[in-house]
Amino acid sequence: MPTWILTVTSRTGAKVNTITGAPSDSIAVYDKTDLDRRIALAKTDPRDLIVTVEPLD
């Protein structure tokens, strides 16, 4: 069962969702290691991403 929903949104309006071309996308994350890896990648992404993590309780 997922523990978090990770949402990223491009501040510049660049395409983030590869299917729809939308500037934001969300994914279910199941463990802390994966969450930390995805956040670290988003911080270095050239699309200038806003990262939101929503816990699922």
25: containing domain: 1-29+49-53
42 within domain boundaries = no
20 within domain boundaries = yes
Token pair in block for residue 43: 């911080």
Measured distance CA(44)–CA(57) in Å, rounded:
29
Q: Is the pTM of this model over 0.85?
A: yes
8 within domain boundaries = yes
4 within domain boundaries = yes
Tens digit of each residue's pLDDT (9 = 90 or more) over 6-54: 999 999 999 999 999 999 999 999 999 999 999 999 999 999 999 999 9
Q: Specify the pLDDT at position 57.
A: 83
35 within domain boundaries = no
Token pair in block for residue 21: 């071309």
14 within domain boundaries = yes
* Longest CA pairwise span in the chain (Å): 33
CA distances from 43 to 1, 2, 4, 12 (A): 26, 22, 18, 14
Number of domains in the chain: 1
Token pair in block for residue 36: 């930390």
Token pair in block for residue 22: 């939308």
